[in-house]
Amino acid sequence: MNKDGIRYPAIDQLVTRTKSKYRLVLGAAIRARQISEGDKPLINDPKSEKGIGIALEEIYANKLEIK
């Protein structure tokens, strides 16, 4: 697994969680901003150090629902 959050989780796996690339990008961006402003991650021991990577990991772990 790559710690930069770019290759994990894979985009194909993430799109199955949101049903739309647009929703995925928008939801991840909003959540990444929340994390950068101080929100704690919803997952234990994230593999990524960056907010966007953590947000994508949360979506993949079904800890964050994008509507």
pLDDT tens-digit map of 3-23:
454 567 888 888 888 888 999
For the chain, give the number of residues. Answer: 67
Strand intervals (E) in 1-67: none
CB contact set of 26 (below 8 Å; sequence gap of 6+): 66
The helix/strand count (H/E) of the chain reads as 3, 0
Using CA atoms, how far apart are residues 46 and 21, in angstroms rounded to an integer? 22
Domain boundaries, the chain: 11-60
pLDDT digits (tens, 9 = 90+) for 22-65: 999 999 999 999 999 999 999 999 999 999 999 999 999 999 88
